Chain A
Amino acid sequence: MPPSQLKQLKSSLRESGVVGPQKSKKQKRQNARTGANANNRVQREAALDAIRDRFNPFEIRTISRNKFDVTTRDGGSKSGPGSFRPGVTKSLGEERRRQTLLQEMDRKNKVGGIMDRRFGENDPSMTPEERAAERFARASQKKLRKDSMFNLEEEGDEGGFQLTHQGESLSFGDGDGVRDDFEEDVDADDMSDSEMSRKRKRVLDAGELGEDELQDEEEVPGRKKSKHEVMQEVIAKSKHYKAQRQMAKEDDDDLREELDKGLPDLFDMLRSVNPPPKPEPPKDDFAAMNPERAAFLQGESQGVTEREYDQRLRQLTFDQRSKPTDRTKTEEEKIEEEAQRLKALEEERIRRMRGEEISEDEAGGVEEEVVELSEDESIPDDAKEFGLQQTTGHTTSRPVGVDDEDDFIIDDLVETRSDASLSFDEEDEDMSDSAEESGEEEDDQEDELINGLTIPGDKSGEASAMLESAQDTADGLAYTYPCPSSHEKFLHIIKDVSYENLPTVIQRIRALHHPRLHSDNKAKLGRFAVILVQHVAYMAEQPDHPPFAILENILRHVHSLAKTHPENVSLAFRAQLREIATGRPLNLRPGDLIILTGIIAIFPTSDHFHAISTPAHLCLARYLGQGPVNTLSDLSTGTYAASLALQYQIVSKRYMPEFINYVLNALCILSPEEPASPLGSFPLRIPTHSLCLNPSKSLNARKLQFWDITGAEHQSEDLKLSLITTLTSLLNTASETWSSKSAYTEVFNQAQAVLHHIFSTLKKDNNNKKILKTTVSTIQSTLSTISTNLKTAHLTRRPLFLHDHKPLAIKTAIPKFEESFNPDKHYDPNRDRAELNRLKADYKREKKGAMRELRKDANFVAREQLREKREKDAEYERKYKRLVAEVQNEEGREANAYERAKRARQGKR
């Protein structure tokens, strides 16, 4: 059984040395001298505190038991065997409530009141001592703060405070040792009480009385000064002193500054380092300076200079920073730059061809760059150069070919103008000649002129024949055209315009609505581009077969518009493709074929994915795969489509099954004899009536014409032979294009078989040998190409080696072991869920805490109310008692009086 509380207390007091054997006097004295007493006292306090805590079972609470022995990384702030001080926390909370909640309670239902502006009055974090110290500091600061050294008012105030005795100021002579009273007071704080009192007494005794009396005695014999005079004197004197003191102080400051300046040198000397050479004083610069500025600096007065300086500085801050200007590039550099640009573009194209994803911004950046480049500078076209032949080219006279769109317009404008050898003035005259031109249109013309003025002066020496012919008839054309908003309107505009003049019209519309001329023009030209696309298809459908030069020119216009309005042009082409796909997928019209040809020129068909090329591919492939093969015009259309398909793939070399199928099928159809057995795994589609070639002497293979696609049944045998030749050469090209494909053998074995078949059937008639020479030689060369490629393919063929991947890790079902697992942490791999859980936990904790606080608040409020009520009751009780006592007193007196009277009466009796 543990000893009793008292015994425990005693023993612990003894152990901690609070109580112990009596110390001898000597020891005490020694302690007092060494200051160990104070130290002891502190120790004793601490020991007592500890003992108190130990004996109060409620003061410190420890966690009674631990379920498991755990060590955690994060210090065990919570989970370790910590101790709490519930009493302390409780009292702290109580205190805080008293400071906040109680105040609120008191202020409740009360209006108005006095604001306590004393410093730190409502700041519970300050101890009263701190508060007092701070207040004092503030007060003294306020006193020390002076607005000006010549502020008489303040001085006057100060003077007002000056103690006087019999009209004399109570100052103590000029000595440095003389202090103002309050100064003395300040000092006195530092001194011990006894010291201060003694000193003051002495000063007061010695100085004050003695000297004053001396002065008085001196001035008595002379005229007695009036009080006003004395006051004046005193003020003057005090001002004088003050000024002197001020001066001395300034001198001291100067001296100190000088010394401070010397300090780094001193340090350097101490470190034995040579001081860096001092910068030359700036005044020496006057010679090298702009003489004007020097004169200005020297001549002008300081104030003016400074003002000037400020002004300039301000100007400079608002000035735009000047940018470094590029120096004019040499021709070689320009060429180099252009080559770099083209190379970058080509690399970009190759990346797209490989289907590598270009990040959006990057692509955009490149695009923008291209546009910028083409807009900003007129760079000569170096396509040829990029073909690695930097030999001739770059004659400064004229950019070779056309590259960017401004160039294009200008180029053509120049061409037409120069060919017509018309100056702009002459054109103006022409215009005024034509009666229908209005003044408004003249303005437009001027606009064009303005645009025309940007044309470089050099004139092109060459121009296409087409444009020449266009110029011949140009006289009948108007110079201004409105920008059409729909294809119908465009048709209306050009209804009297011959095909040859169409490029001129288009060019004029484009020049008149150049985006630089009006902000709306960009949108207008966008629409115009769409119309041009529609018009190309429309024109190709016309029965009178407009010349291809015109179509080409329009397509090139579309291309150059596509650079500035890619979206409009793309959408227009997509609309055309959609029309083909939904309206006539298996019945391609000449217009569709022209559109599909235009796509080659305008869009990169080599892209892995492209919003226009890909559907165009599909359209072609669909026609090739499913289109009719019943007539020669069908076959011609198909052959043209096959040529287009191969052209699409000539760069990217992607494989197109439909192409091979179609070409082989067509060859089988056209061959003089139908093959007895299938020559390959391509599906054989047989026309409704035979289209076999009938070899005869008069046959002549020619180059196919585009318009063969629209029913050219005459000269059919010639056409058949030409088709065979063309298809064969297509196979030749295809064989070259796809020679690196791993299944080349499988694809072109069929082709070889088909060609052999045709070759043998053609050769059967020996007499035709000479006449069919071209065809036979084409077939022969194709066959030889194919067989060479087949040999190569045979040699390079290796078993596939596709799965040379790094082996995949086997998925394990063993849970992942967490190093230093902490159950308080959540190891949720799902970020969102973890976040959510954390938020939930936070919310729960906060809610609990808030509820606890509220509950405590309510308790507190109830307690306070009870206390108030008790107080009120007690007050009432006191009052009541007092009143009762008073009454009793009075009544007692009356009773006494009565008693007395009674006794007296009795006594009388």
Chain B
Amino acid sequence: MPAITNKSVSSKKRKSTKAGGVPSSKRRAVAENESAESMVRIQQLEEQIAESRKHYNNIATLISMLGEDGQGINPNLPVAVSLCRVFSRLIAGGNLAEPDRAAENEKIVVAWLKERCREYQRILVSIMRQSDASSQITALTLAMRLLNERATHIPGDDTQAWTSGLFRSIFEAVVEARDGQTLRSEFLEKFVKPHEDVTYYTFMQLAEYAATARSTEILETLVTLLSACDSVPSADHEFESFYSKASKQNKKLLSVNSHKKRAQDAWLAVLRNNLAQPLRKTLLRIMVHHIEPWFARPEFLMDFLTDSYNVGGATSLLALSGLFYLIQEKNLDYPQFYTKLYSLLDADLLHSKHRSRFLRLLNTFLASTHLPATLVASFIKRLSRLALNAPPTAIVAIVPFMYNLFKSHPTCTYMLHRVVPDKKQKELEAEGMDDPFDPNEPNPDRTGAIESSLWEIDTLQSHYHPNVASIARIISEQFTKMSYNVEDFLDYTYQGMLQAELGLEEKPLKKIPVVEYQIPKRIFTDRLLEEDGGVDTAPGSLVRALWDFS
């Protein structure tokens, strides 16, 4: 428990400073070196406050020492720590709680103290926003400790401190802090993740915070914060680790549903914000694993997903998996789904890095044997068109996929094998043939692909890479295999293929490679050209014709 350790450490330090002022931490050491006497003075002031109420004015002195510059850029940390101790003590002693029937002057004292406390809090928050990383973290720790004290000891303040009071300002400070990378990670690691009540209130604050439009950087921060809390409680989860003891009494904090509700609200607030494209992609990427589990009612995601799906390009590809989840789990009815899916098969698809992801999903979408053959044929034909311009890694994945489609939709095999009736044969001889496939037709039911043939894959059977060529050849061999496991073909890269060819290190070759039997007369120059009668027929003539080597 950071708060407790802090307390014990500070008490020890107090003793040690009393004993001889031997510093035990660097920060203290620096402070001491700079102003040893100020340390003594702080000590003195603090002790006086503890001694009697008449020294309460020392608080004001300390606060003024702390916020000398008013901005909290170079805070006097020992002062902050000692102030924290002072206030903690006061809060624990009930000095900040307003008794019902108190004397007028008492009330004035309490009000004054509250005012000072608020001032102190403000300064801490401004330290968190402005100062350097170590001060930020100290301020955060102190603020959280103060928050804990307040929530525990001030009646009626327990929820208020979390929901609207100190915690909100802490949260905002954490999110908006300058150079707050370490601060945020500290906040996450020390407070949010281990303490479920802090998580809960963080979600709550986040939802409120994100309700208004924010800048992209802030949103990114929020997404980072949110996605860090990825341990979705299961239905029978018991919440036990709380930061503040008072939280145990709060029934809301003990229910899984309310937790989920908070998280869902927080996510929704983020998703509804005006998201930039990269952030949207990030969100879509973590959608299935990080976001959707929080959602008790995933249909709230529908808007976001359909919007993303309609964006086109990579975003659509990414939205697809979330959408699929909704369709599958929540019975989402997406009109013209296959038309949209078909439109996703564009020139960039097979070159995109989301290719494997998309093909996996496409495999799922087209798995049903109840789909009309025309539709499946359109997909096959479109893919084969794209394969003509695709890298070998994509072709390797597409062809087995097509094979599986052919296997489950045997009607489509007309695209591979079509017996031409004799009558039509003559016509063909005379006029040739156009591809009946219409590549510009958006509706996959009307492309006429099933009338076409897969000349593209036929051409790819003479692909330059022998392995790709032999994979392309599977569609012209007998379909004896039940199906190919598409997963095995998906994640190839140029690097991997090259490595498969070349290996990682020098190894003796199994078979000595054949060497061209003839030493060419020329490689770059026109050596001995006149001997060939001025016509260059040796290998490499094309390059020599186009390029000038000099």
Which A residues contact B (CB, under 8 angstroms)?
A: 342, 345, 349, 352, 355, 360, 363, 367, 370, 381, 383-384, 387, 400-403, 405, 408, 462, 464, 466, 547-549, 551-552, 555-556, 559-560, 562-563, 566-567, 569-571, 574-575, 577-578, 581, 585, 597-598, 600-604, 607-612, 614-615, 617-619, 621-622, 625-626, 640, 643-650, 653-658, 660-661, 678, 680-684, 703-706, 726, 729-730, 733, 741-747, 750, 791, 794-805, 808
B-side interface size class: 35 or more
Contact between B464 and A643 (Cβ–Cβ < 8 Å)? no
Contact between B512 and A570 (Cβ–Cβ < 8 Å)? yes
Return chain A residues, CB-CB under 8 Å to B548: 703-706
Known: A345-B517, A401-B528. A795 touches B385 (CB 8 A): no
Neighbour of B547 across the interface among A604, A640, A678, A796, CB < 8 A = A640
Neighbour of A614 across the interface among B458, B501, B525, B532, CB < 8 A = B501
Return chain A residues, CB-CB under 8 Å to B503: 578
How far apart sit A800 and B476, CA to CA, in the bound complex (Å)?
Answer: 10
Return chain A residues, CB-CB under 8 Å to B348: 683
List 12 A-B residue pairs with CB atoms under 8 Å apart, sorted by A's residue number: A349-B514, A363-B514, A548-B524, A570-B513, A575-B506, A577-B498, A585-B494, A619-B498, A622-B498, A658-B391, A741-B462, A746-B385
Does B3 touch A at the CB level, under 8 Å? no
Return chain B residues, CB-CB under 8 Å to A655: 459-460, 462-464
Closest-by-CB residue of A relative to B475 is A802
Return chain A residues, CB-CB under 8 Å to B317: none
Contact between B511 and A566 (Cβ–Cβ < 8 Å)? no
User: How would residues 514 to 534 of chain B score, 1 for a CB under 8 Å from any chain A CB and 0 otherwise?
Assistant: 111111111111011001100
Known: A566-B512, A600-B539. A801 touches B463 (CB 8 A): no
Known: A800-B416, A803-B476. A646 touches B455 (CB 8 A): no
Contact between B525 and A552 (Cβ–Cβ < 8 Å)? yes
Closest-by-CB residue of A relative to B382 is A681
Query: What would 17 more interface pairs be, CB under 8 Å, given A560-B519, A611-B511?
Result: A402-B519, A405-B519, A552-B525, A567-B509, A614-B466, A617-B464, A618-B465, A622-B498, A643-B542, A643-B546, A644-B543, A682-B347, A682-B389, A726-B547, A797-B434, A800-B416, A800-B453
How far apart sit A704 and B545, CA to CA, in the bound complex (Å)?
Answer: 10
Known: A384-B532, A618-B465. A585 touches B455 (CB 8 A): no
Contact between A612 and B513 (Cβ–Cβ < 8 Å)? yes
User: How would residues 380 to 424 of chain B score, 1 for a CB under 8 Å from any chain A CB and 0 otherwise?
Assistant: 000001111111100100000000000000000101111110000
Smallest CB separation, B411 vs chain A (Å): 14
Neighbour of A746 across the interface among B456, B502, B511, B525, CB < 8 A = B456
Contact between B524 and A551 (Cβ–Cβ < 8 Å)? yes
Known: A654-B469, A680-B347, A742-B458. A549 touches B433 (CB 8 A): no
Known: A567-B509, A611-B513, A615-B501. A794 touches B432 (CB 8 A): yes
Contact between A681 and B459 (Cβ–Cβ < 8 Å)? no
Known: A802-B475, A802-B476. A383 touches B518 (CB 8 A): yes
Q: With a 10 A CB-CB cut-off, give which of B460, B521, B528, B537 has the most chain A CB atoms.
A: B521
Smallest CB separation, B244 vs chain A (Å): 54
How far apart sit A611 and B537, CA to CA, in the bound complex (Å)?
Answer: 25
Return chain B residues, CB-CB under 8 Å to A650: 542
Return chain A residues, CB-CB under 8 Å to B462: 653-655, 741
Contact between A705 and B550 (Cβ–Cβ < 8 Å)? yes
Contact between A597 and B524 (Cβ–Cβ < 8 Å)? yes
Neighbour of B513 across the interface among A566, A730, A795, CB < 8 A = A566
Q: With a 10 A CB-CB cut-off, give which of B480, B499, B520 has the most chain A CB atoms.
A: B520
Does B20 touch A at the CB level, under 8 Å? no
Closest-by-CB residue of A relative to B429 is A795
Does B435 touch A at the CB level, under 8 Å? yes
Contact between A602 and B388 (Cβ–Cβ < 8 Å)? no
Return chain A residues, CB-CB under 8 Å to B512: 367, 566-567, 570
How far apart sit A680 and B413, CA to CA, in the bound complex (Å)?
Answer: 26
Contact between A464 and B454 (Cβ–Cβ < 8 Å)? no
Known: A566-B512, A618-B465, A797-B432. A581 touches B458 (CB 8 A): no
Q: Which A-B residue pairs are the 5 nearest by beta carbons?
A: A795-B432, A743-B459, A803-B417, A548-B524, A799-B418
Neighbour of A600 across the interface among B434, B469, B531, B543, CB < 8 A = B543
Neighbour of A585 across the interface among B431, B495, B506, B520, CB < 8 A = B495
Return chain A residues, CB-CB under 8 Å to B346: 681
Does B327 touch A at the CB level, under 8 Å? no
How far apart sit A611 and B503, CA to CA, in the bound complex (Å)?
Answer: 11
Smallest CB separation, A685 vs chain B (Å): 9
Closest-by-CB residue of B relative to A612 is B513
Does B156 touch A at the CB level, under 8 Å? no
Known: A603-B515, A625-B391. A555 touches B523 (CB 8 A): yes
Contact between A549 and B527 (Cβ–Cβ < 8 Å)? yes
Contact between A799 and B420 (Cβ–Cβ < 8 Å)? yes
Closest-by-CB residue of B relative to A737 is B542
Contact between A597 and B523 (Cβ–Cβ < 8 Å)? yes
Smallest CB separation, A548 vs chain B (Å): 4
Closest-by-CB residue of B relative to A383 is B518
Return chain B residues, CB-CB under 8 Å to A360: 511
Contact between B498 and A618 (Cβ–Cβ < 8 Å)? yes
Smallest CB separation, A799 vs chain B (Å): 4
How far apart sit A648 and B542, CA to CA, in the bound complex (Å)?
Answer: 10
How far apart sit A622 and B464, CA to CA, in the bound complex (Å)?
Answer: 12
